[in-house]
Structure 1
């Protein structure tokens, strides 16, 4: 069997970018998306390391959600490639990306409101090789702090609880990387803190995250590394302390007095 170090073997770009010998689990290469005459994402090279928790910030229209949809397969790039864990995802259907270890939670909760909390968790578990769905459901309920609401219809949960439930549904698939689009939008301070604790706990267990978020206090709480998008391109990247101290970032994204 050929090995990456074998000079006679042609290593694919996906393996070269995100294979076993690489730190990156996700990499986009020159990813671009045009909508008619509008360039929503412009030649973006974006990487996420294994086990990293990275936040993606920028003003409305910066291309954050479009980039996420290109990674998850909701949109196809005009040009460029998306690599994940040694696989070229560029032309792969969205559902196959989930099977490859990529999970996503969009801003609005996508739950089954007429089913109980426990039943919502059991639906994705049926896609896995889990041999004890009841035990796995209970474990996830404890992790997302909804064990006391197991038999409650999901539609009766608060907004924050519904967001935690959907994150829990995604974690049952044991993804390598989870993408979250504004996970705390519309939440109270207490709900935001609860989601922050959940994300940090999952990250401590080795799950990588990309989190799109406008709430800078939340970003400070969960993330060490931040990528700033501007007009579809990467404007700055670095530790949260450097991003907040950057005068251009303050002026364009955070406000003059940030």
Structure 2
């Protein structure tokens, strides 16, 4: 926690993301190399509490590598990750989850042979007393429009329903920050609209910050507060969706529009 004693120097983690700051996550000089390939190149990236940030860029830009560095699935070659007043660079994935970072990758990580209700009870066991399971499960089923499929085997759900179920499972842990990798890949137009509404509702009502990797620029336009563009492993530009869409260099490298 931040100290009020001016003679005591704050740690970099507290100075970057602690009490008195709006920033919940900040990376400094974050780099990942695979042999001679630099996949993430000295990235300084910050996101504020309650912000919904989209991360875009052409294939090979380093987006997935960056997300895996944030989740702890990859160890950085160099650099630092600060989160909520603490340095988490060397923390394992499950330790980051316990500190309020929820993760959802592109392919749903649900338990296909269990029912929707049983899937929700697994993360609930980490945060609720058994006496609260039924009440909390009912609340979550209702909120995420899964009540009608509560006793359905998860493998029988549509792709869109599976995506919604995994987001619901992540939200049972009451995260401060959620990381999503292409949450609408393979979804219909209607399912994409539903996921967009769901993310905006969670962001508004629960004050959860989001980092969303996404290729669908129309979806990004619907949900993003700000957009970060990665190119060749580095941050190319950041801004509102309008600023990014109107940038001629972004059009060239990402949208494929030659000037």
TM bin, normalised by shorter chain, reads: over 0.9
Q: Could you tell me whether the CA contact under 8 Å between 2:2 and 2:14 is conserved in 1?
A: no
SS at match of 1:127: helix
1:237 aligns with 2:219: no
Shift of 1:135: 1.2
Distance 1:145 1:235 in 2: 38
Backbone CA RMSD of aligned residues: 1.3
Q: Could you tell me whether the CA contact under 8 Å between 1:143 and 1:198 is conserved in 2?
A: no
Shift of 1:57: 0.1
Q: What's the TM-score once normalised by structure 1's chain length?
A: 0.97
1:175 aligns with 2:175: yes
Q: What's the TM-score once normalised by structure 2's chain length?
A: 0.97
1:77-156 correspondence runs (5 A):
77-130=76-129, 131-156=131-156
Runs of 4+ in 1 over 3 A off after TM superposition: none
1:15-26 correspondence runs (5 A):
15-26=14-25
> 1:3/1:253 Cα in 2 relative to 1: closer, same or farther (>3 Å)?
closer
Distance 1:135 1:85 in 2: 30
Q: How many residues align?
A: 257
Which range is displaced more, 42-51 or 122-131? 122-131
Which range is displaced more, 122-131 or 184-193? 122-131
Distance 1:143 1:192 in 2: 17
Q: Paired residue for 2:255?
A: 254
1:169-248 correspondence runs (5 A):
169-205=169-205, 206-248=207-249
> 1:237/1:40 Cα in 2 relative to 1: closer, same or farther (>3 Å)?
same
Distance 2:61 2:4 in 1: 40
Q: Could you tell me whether the CA contact under 8 Å between 1:3 and 1:9 is conserved in 2?
A: no
Which range is displaced more, 230-239 or 126-135? 126-135
Structure 1: gaps of 5 or more residues: none
Q: Deviations along 1:40-79, whole A, 9 cap, x unmatched?
A: 0000000010000000000111000111110110011101
